């Protein structure tokens, strides 16, 4: 074999090996955070080529689900990573800053929004006034204490405003203490939590169920107001992580698994962090085959996405 032939073969083999190594690098998609009072729900999809997933024949070292969700999918086909927030300005929702309005510009895209000089509470009233059936919620949010909280947090806040039907259309004379409790039970302080929908799905509102808080109209905002979701009922206790997850269409499968495994108390009552996967073929397959016989494995799968007692994460 000639020297030239040997050199050509060496070049071809080296190029092939390098190409294989590059194909195996995961494509990381980081998505917004949901952080509640005592629990933070992160979602991050690591899209890994199918070639990288290999069976493990070592029975003494069985593979377990990773804390960061790995979704096997083609790097050239993005059909499983097609979610976006149903809100105009998605950039504002990726990693919210501290609970202050000093470092936040107005969120609206209209020129008129940029010229507004009112407080976050004033902009919130504009949002509520634009909806014909949020009059009682507006009255319940109007007190010196609630004004101060809303103005302090501004866009770093989410409010769940019940429709007038939730009040049975009966106006109520709210005391300042009752208004403070109303705000505590219908808001997430320091975080802006949008409702997400699929790019491939129809333009429809989140599904409604009788046994939980339902979103009638999501992602209402104006200027530097808090983010407002119109909901169908009054909350008698503060919003928790499980409530937020159940309202997100993109988290419907993992929410169903948590309920099936009877692990809701962990999300409702215990501090910690959960790495929560979007709906994808893996979680759908697990949910489809869930039964009492594999309950232990499902609980292990879910537990591997929870860090008890931790309230933060480094990406």
The beta strands (E) that lie in 43-118 are given as 44-48, 70-72, 83-85
The percentage of residues in the chain with a pLDDT greater than 70, rounded to a whole number, is 55
Kindly tell me if the per-residue pLDDT of 313 is higher than 90. no
Give me the pLDDT at residue 118, please: 84
- Measured between alpha carbons, how far is 22 from 1 in angstroms, rounded to an integer? 31
Q: Which residue has the higher pLDDT, 252 or 206?
A: 252
Instruction: Show me where the domains of the chain are located.
Output: 29-52+62-81+250-310, 86-239
Give, for 218, the enclosing helix (H) or strand (E). Answer: strand 215-220
Reported confidence tier of residue 63, pLDDT bands at 50, 70, 90: very low
- Measured between alpha carbons, how far is 42 from 276 in angstroms, rounded to an integer? 6
Give me the pLDDT at residue 226, please: 95
Question: Could you give the C-alpha distances from 89 to 86, 203, 227, 284, 293, in angstroms and in order?
Answer: 9, 17, 11, 30, 45
What global pTM score does this model have?
0.61
Asked if 270 and 40 count as a contact pair (C-beta separation under 8 A), the reply is no
Kindly tell me if the per-residue pLDDT of 257 is higher than 70. yes
Give me the pLDDT at residue 139, please: 94
12-50 residue pLDDT tens? 555 555 555 444 443 333 344 444 444 444 444 433 334
Reported confidence tier of residue 98, pLDDT bands at 50, 70, 90: very low
If you search the block for the tokens 């086909």, which residue do you land on?
Answer: 77
Q: Which residue has the higher pLDDT, 123 or 279?
A: 123
Q: CATH classification of 86-239, choosing from 3.40.50.1000, 3.20.20.70, 2.60.40.1180, 2.30.180.10?
A: 2.30.180.10
Q: Which residue has the higher pLDDT, 94 or 179?
A: 179
């Amino acid at each position: 074999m000639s020297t030239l032939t040997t050199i050509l073969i060496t070049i071809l083999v080296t190029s092939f090996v390098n190409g294989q190594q590059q194909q195996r690098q995961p494509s990381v998609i980081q998505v917004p955070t949901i952080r509640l009072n005592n629990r933070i729900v992160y979602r991050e999809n690591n899209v890994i080529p199918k070639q990288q997933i290999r069976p493990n024949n070592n029975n003494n070292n069985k593979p377990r689900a990773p804390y960061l969700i790995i979704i096997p999918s083609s790097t050239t086909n993005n059909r499983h990573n097609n979610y976006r927030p149903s809100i105009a300005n998605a950039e504002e929702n990726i990693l919210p800053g501290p609970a202050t309005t000093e470092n936040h510009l107005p969120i609206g895209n209209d020129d008129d929004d940029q010229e507004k000089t009112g407080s976050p509470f004033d902009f919130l009233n504009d949002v509520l006034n634009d909806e014909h059936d949020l009059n009682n919620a507006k009255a319940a949010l109007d007190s010196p204490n609630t004004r101060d909280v809303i103005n302090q947090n501004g866009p770093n806040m989410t409010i769940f405003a019940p429709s007038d039907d939730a009040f049975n259309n009966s106006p109520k004379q709210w005391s300042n203490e009752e208004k403070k409790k109303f705000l505590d039970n219908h808001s997430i302080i320091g975080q802006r939590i949008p409702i997400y929908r699929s790019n491939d799905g129809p333009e429809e509102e989140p599904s409604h169920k009788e046994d939980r808080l339902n979103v009638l109209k999501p992602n209402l905002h104006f200027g530097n107001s808090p983010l407002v979701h119109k909901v169908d009922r009054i909350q008698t206790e503060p919003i928790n992580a499980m409530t937020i997850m159940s309202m997100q269409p993109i988290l419907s499968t993992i929410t169903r698994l948590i309920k099936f495994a009877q692990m809701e108390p962990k999300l409702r009552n215990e501090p910690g962090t959960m790495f929560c996967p979007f709906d994808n073929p893996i979680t759908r397959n697990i949910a489809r085959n869930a039964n009492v016989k594999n309950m232990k494995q499902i609980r292990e799968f879910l537990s591997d996405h929870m860090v008890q007692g931790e309230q933060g994460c480094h990406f």
